[in-house]
Amino acid sequence: MAEDGRGNFSAALSCAEFRAMWAAEALSVAGDQLARVALALVVFDRTSSASLTALTYALTFAPSVLGGFFLSGLADRYPRRAVIVATDVVRGGLAIAMALPGLPLPAMWCLVGVLTLVGAPFKGAQLALLPDVLPADLLQAGLGLRQVTMQIAQVAGFGLGGLLVPLLGAGSVLAINGGTFLLSAGIVFVGVRPRPAARQASSAEPSAASVANPRYAAQLVAPVILISMIGLLEVPEGVAAPFAKTAGAASFAVGLLMAANPVGSAIGGWWAGRSRSIASPSTVLIPAVAAGLPLTAAMVSSLPVAALSWAVSGALSTYYLVRLQPVVLAIVPDNRRGTVMGRLSTCIITSQGVAIVVAGVVADRIGPASTVAASGALASAVALGAAFVWTRTRPRQERAAEDEPAPPARRRSPVFVAHASPPGISGGGKDRS
């Protein structure tokens, strides 16, 4: 067995089905960033309106909230590979339609909104399928590798978009984005074997998770708190510009500050992926509590200190998110995995948006440095509250598992019993898409 991160990642990539899913998602994420650059330039060129440009950008995120809550269940109702392929084909068609010359802006906004909406079942199906694709002892390595790759794909996509739009035109770049979705669908269709829908399989034979955790909702309270508080740790990105101005730094410092958290996030994904230890409360709660503490250094108002502390916070937050996901998958029955994971991904996106909007209002009143420091302190306090909740719900979970009859031995469950056996699974890691 490999003992370093590189070895763990290589072992995960040796699984052909995971390799196909990993490559397909990287293509889709990079294509998304290309499209965001192209759409922003198209709308601003046509309208010269910053507000309409911002609205278009928001449409690449906001509808995912509705999709996450109302469409994630498709990943449990239908075969997950089929859901991934179908949603990618639909998104590819919508993206290509946006490239049509002379398309009216209202029509483009509708296409963008629908494209974002149908991304939710893709995310739920992908996260729910990973435990079936990867062996248990490589699941966490796969999560870490996915997080590192998605961060790199986002940065590369934005940079490549800035180069390609002037060279090829926004329409061509939007068409390329559509091509990445279609290619992603083809990779998954060829590289991932079909499986029955989770609800059909569970009706034929109950999974170990569903037998051991009949009242799993209560056990998810602490994980949901930890996932939802991620928005507090994203506040620095939202106030980077006013923070740099207050610190008297040059304009290039804004980019440096905004890059600090994603760089730290990539490091955190690598760090979590190299670990083979059992996912337990301590391996999640300690970094979760610690993640907010570096942000309190914002009161120093030093650019190097801020960049370093924001990167450390990003690393810790991603580390605990990656470590948390196997715990969640162990609690949730297989026939509810897609729904729960899709909605939890939505919680991450929603918390980021809400926290950044509120932080902007607060920063106008108390200053950006105080806002960042307060968000970090509040995040640590919330994590401590989650730790208290966890200690209250975990004994009930264990007693329920002991009182229930042993699970059928006809097949091995693809997920492990929480805190009892080695983990094995994503955005999800820290899901920014």
If 0-12 CB within 10 Å is exposed, 13-18 middle and 19+ buried, where does residue 76 land?
Answer: buried
Distance (Å, whole) CA 127 – CA 72: 11
Q: How far is CA 244 from the centre of its chain?
A: 27
Distance (Å, whole) CA 415 – CA 407: 13
**pLDDT value, residue 167:** 87
Q: How far is CA 358 from the centre of its chain?
A: 21
DSSP class per residue in 173-185: HHHHHHHHHHHHH
**pLDDT value, residue 37:** 81
**pLDDT value, residue 41:** 80
Residue with tokens 């997950």, as numbered in its chain:
80
Q: How far is CA 153 from the centre of its chain?
A: 13
Which DSSP category does 432 fall into? -
Q: Is the dihedral of CA 23, 25, 31, 34 positive or negative?
A: negative
**pLDDT value, residue 337:** 78
Buried/exposed code over 361-376 (b: 16+ C-beta within 10 A; e: otherwise): ebbeeebbbebbbbbb
Q: Are 425 and 143 contacting, i.e. CB atoms less than 8 angstroms apart?
A: yes
DSSP class per residue in 216-254: HHHHTHHHHHHHHTHHHHTHHHHTHHHHHHHTT--THHH
- Residue whose C-alpha is closest to residue 425's, from 300, 272, 228, 226: 272
pLDDT (tens, 9 = 90+) of the chain, 433 residues, equals: 344 445 578 888 889 999 999 999 888 888 888 888 888 888 878 887 766 776 776 676 677 777 777 877 888 888 999 999 999 999 999 999 998 888 888 898 888 888 888 888 888 888 888 888 988 788 888 888 888 888 788 777 777 887 888 888 888 989 999 999 999 999 999 999 999 887 665 544 444 444 444 467 778 888 889 998 998 998 887 787 788 777 666 556 676 777 788 788 888 888 887 776 666 677 889 999 999 999 998 777 678 888 899 899 999 998 998 888 888 877 888 888 778 888 887 888 778 778 877 888 888 888 888 888 999 999 999 999 999 988 877 644 444 444 444 444 333 333 322 222 222 223 333 444 4
If 0-12 CB within 10 Å is exposed, 13-18 middle and 19+ buried, where does residue 388 land?
Answer: exposed
**pLDDT value, residue 415:** 32
Distance (Å, whole) CA 34 – CA 173: 7
**pLDDT value, residue 402:** 40
Run of H or E including 103: none
3-state secondary structure 265-298: HHHHHHHHHCCCCCCCHHHHHHHHHHHCHHHHHH
**pLDDT value, residue 82:** 93
Q: Are 143 and 426 contacting, i.e. CB atoms less than 8 angstroms apart?
A: yes
**pLDDT value, residue 385:** 94
**Contacts by 390-396 with C-beta closer than 8 Å and gap 24+?**
390/222, 390/281, 390/285, 391/281, 393/218, 393/219, 393/221, 393/222, 394/219, 394/281, 394/419, 396/215, 396/218, 396/219
Q: How far is CA 236 from the centre of its chain?
A: 18
In a 13 Å sphere around the CA of 197, the CA atoms on its Cβ side amount to 12
Helix (H, G, I), strand (E, B) or coil at 205: coil
Apex 220 CA angle, 69 and 314, nearest 5: 80
How many residues does the structure list for the chain?
433
Q: Are 237 and 258 contacting, i.e. CB atoms less than 8 angstroms apart?
A: yes
